[in-house]
Structures are given as structure tokens and as C-alpha cells.
Copies of this chain bind each other. A is one copy, B any other.
Amino acid sequence: MLYNAEFALQRINGELLLLEFGDNPRELYEPLRYILGLGGKRLRPMLTLLACSMFEENYFKALKPALAIEVFHNFSLIHDDIMDQATVRRGKPTIHQKWDVPTAILSGDVALVEAYKLMMEVEDNLKMKAFRLFSQVAKEVCEGQQSDMLFEKKEKVSVGEYMQMIRLKTAVLLGFSLQIGALVGGASDSDAEKLKSFGQNIGLAFQIKDDYLDSFGDGLKVGKTIGGDIRVNKKTYLFTKSLELGNHEASNRLLELYSREDNSDQKVNEVLEIYTHLNIQEECEKEIFNLYNLSISNLTGLKTNMHKTARLRRFADELIERVF
């Protein structure tokens, strides 16, 4: 079967609706169905199917692990939303907002269990490998979220610490989505590792792009107010890089601005001036381009045909095209 992204997405959405987690008590499972029904790009399960399709005609062989990853991703969204006190997700109230915090904690817990169950529906000879890799990723995502929260309380964060945090919080799951899809498709361990590295690097690039757009994007296009990160003193790639590059005066001024509870336009503008003065836009583009090149180099030597590898390249291109 030829890989067809539109068909794959429809199938994922359809299967997510059909998952039967349980019914009793209704208040435990309804929130899970609710958040899974909010839609989204289904980026991770799509990557799993895409990776599988590179090595196996019947790429729906990877459907269960693809669903597992989407359910896991939603587990982390449910719990992160509580921690971040987020009230809205994809235009709808978050679970702890619509129900309450206890319900959100428990729905998340149950989602993690269901993700494990789906993951273990891979074929027998892959079960233990899938289990080990998935458990490792699950821990790393928690570690990343904890680091992210710790950064809120720290005055300074280095570029290295920041990169490690986004690797854990975001990139490893993207890498694993590809890795498990490849393994289910029959790829060698080393090819699956290559796809994992590709996914991680492109994930890092994507996160830096996200930071970049928050400060320098076209507000209308991005769909949110410019400078949101600056207003809430979020440590981003731009912030950490500025501390690294700035002289004593610029760094101190930036730290001083970030120590204030102030979400004014004036503060945003002053921080943007520091960024611009330090050429942070160019630094971001350079780093994104580095990571992009690295991710492309991860794809060399794969035992699949060029046409199939090209799909992943196109994916990488699309992810970062808005930057350049």
C-alpha cells in the first residue's frame, strides 16, 4: 500500500475514537475521550506510520504503537496543563478546568496505563524492546517537564541546560515515534536509531523555531501575541543564548527585566532590542540550520529507497520552512 498522509491521518483519528478504555466510572474515562477528540495534527502517530512505511508496505502494522504514542502524549498534556495552570487547550477548556484537578490527575494516570497497553500490542519479538524504549522515553519526558518547571525558579539557565531540557521534554518522543515505527516495519536497529536521531534533531530545531516565532514571528500567522514568552519570563533559546553572548551590561539588563512580573509591551520591546542588538535572530537561524543539516545527515545510508527517505526530508523541510 502506498503511503498516503491524508488516509493515515483519517485512520488515526478514527481509531482514536474507537479505543475502548472503559466506562465505569464515566467521570474517569470521559475526560480522556474528550481530550483525544480535540484533534490536532497527530504529528507523533503520523511519524510512526511514516517511519513504518519506509520499510514495510502495510504500514498500518504500526497502528497500535502509533496510537500508544498519541495516548501517551495526551497523558503528558493532561498533567502538564495542571502544572502550568493552563485553562485552554486547542480552543477548549483543559480537563482540570472543565472537570477538576483530581479528575485530571486520574485521567492522566489511566492514559499512561492505556498507552502502555497499546504499546505492548506490537508483535511478540518486539514487545520487550518496545517496553524498554517506551519506559525510558516516559521517564525522560517527566524529567524534561520537571527541568522546565525548575527553570522558572532559576535566574540563569545555560544554553546547554536549555537544549537538554527540550531534548527530554519534546525531542525524545518525536525520535521514539519514528524509531518504533521503523522497528515495527522491520528496520534494523541501526536504521531505527538513525530515524530516532533524525526525529530528535528535527524536534530540537522545531522547538527553537517555536521560541523564535514567539519573539520575531508574524503575530497574525503564528496565531498568538508576539512576546508571550517574554511577558511571562519564560527561559527560551533566545534568552539563554543572549546570556551567553551578551556583555556584562546586556546580561544584567536582561536578567533585571526577567526578574519583573511585568507583561507590558514596553518590556517586550526592550528585550527584543537586546536580542536584536546581539544578533539573536541570526543565531537562531544558524542553530536551526545546524540541527536541520544534522537531521538530514542522520538519514544517509538507510536501507530503504530514496523516494521513501524523501518523505522524511520533506517533513523536515515543512517543519522549518516558516523560519527562513
A residues in contact (CB < 8 Å) with B: 22, 24-25, 27-28, 79, 82-83, 101-103, 105-106, 108-110, 112-114, 116-117, 120, 127-128, 131, 135, 138-139, 142-143, 145-147, 149-150
Contact = CB atoms under 8 A, between A and B. Distances in A.
Given A116-B116, A139-B110, A147 B105 contact: no
A135 B112 contact: no
B82 A142 contact: no
A168 to B, nearest CB: 9
Q: Is the interface of A mostly helix, strand, loop or mixed?
A: helix
A209 to B, nearest CB: 25
A1 B179 CA distance: 45
A139 B28 CA distance: 10
Contacts of A143: 22, 24-25, 28
Given A101-B83, A139-B22, A27 B146 contact: yes
Given A79-B109, A105-B105, A127-B128, A146 B25 contact: yes
B112 A149 contact: no
A102 B83 contact: yes
Contact of A106 (B116, B117, B131, B142): B142
Contact of A109 (B128, B142, B147): B142
Residue among A102, A108, A149, A150 with the most chain B CB within 10 A?
Answer: A102
A267 B147 CA distance: 48
A79 B138 CA distance: 17
Contact of A112 (B82, B103, B112, B127): B112
Residue among A25, A82, A112, A135 with the most chain B CB within 10 A?
Answer: A25
A83 B105 contact: yes
Nearest to A105: B79
Nearest to A139: B113
A148 B103 CA distance: 12
Contacts of A24: 143
A107 to B, nearest CB: 8
Contacts of A127: 127-128
A133 to B, nearest CB: 12
A254 to B, nearest CB: 24
A135 B113 contact: yes
Residue among A22, A112, A113, A117 with the most chain B CB within 10 A?
Answer: A113
Contacts of A79: 105-106, 109
Given A112-B112, A116-B116, A146 B103 contact: yes
A25 B308 CA distance: 39
A116 B113 CA distance: 9
Contact of A110 (B101, B102, B109, B142): B142
